[in-house]
Amino acid sequence: MSVSVPSEIAAFLGAGTPAEWTGAAVRSLDDLLIDHANCEKKAASTALALMFRYEGQADLVHRMSRLAREELRHFEQVQGILSERGIAWRRLEASRYARGLREHVRQGGPERLVDLLVIGAFIEARSCERFALVAPMLDKDLGRFYRGLLASEARHFEQYLALARSRDPAGVDERVRVFRAVENRLATAPDTQLRFHSGPPASGGA
């Protein structure tokens, strides 16, 4: 069953995921699932961190609280899949992706929050795109699971972007352009490791 990447997600990202990543991801499914679980934990942690750092901003706190609960529910679902499939948990080194994006965050003041929200939008958008890409290539149950996550990731993308726009209506588009260039490089340039948000494997990789 084919799955289309939502048009607004594709337009926001700009560059699509290379086919080499998709093929390698399906061949390295154990690592993909473990890293997916890690990503859900990190997404919940990010939402909680924003709640604590910006606790006086009621709209942000409300959305991040709901998002954290949803991300933790997804984490539990992926954990269940790992258990059902007999995939043993092991520690995986984090990819370059989130770290590479955060290197460009402005420090201090409202600018920092805008950049963190824009990064959140890119992470959720790329997740949504990759769920759509891998779902048709997986077995029936796992494909259904990933198709089911598409709507939530798209919604999270929209929420992060809306929060960023509400804080800097005039400047957010420029920050999106800045981070798009960084994100596209991280997601499409050859990578030394295979992760959910990595680039395609470098020669000799997965």
Longest dimension (CA), the chain: 50
| H helix and E strand count, the chain | 8, 0
Model pLDDT for residues 186-206, shown as the tens digit of each residue:
999 999 999 999 999 987 444
Record the tokens describing residue 190, joined without a space: 């050859």
Instruction: Enumerate residue ranges in the chain where pLDDT < 70.
Output: 1-2, 204-206
Q: Which of 182, 196, 191, 203 is nearest to 15 (CA)?
A: 182
Q: Judge contact between 68 and 44, C-beta under 8 A.
A: yes
Q: Taking the model in full, what pTM does it have?
A: 0.95
Distance of CA 4 to CAs 126, 130, 135, Å? 13, 11, 10
What pLDDT was estimated at residue 2?
63
What pLDDT was estimated at residue 205?
47
Record the tokens describing residue 35, joined without a space: 């890293």
Task: State percent of the chain over pLDDT 70.
Answer: 98
Q: Judge contact between 200 and 20, C-beta under 8 A.
A: yes
Model pLDDT for residues 19-34, shown as the tens digit of each residue:
999 999 999 999 999 9
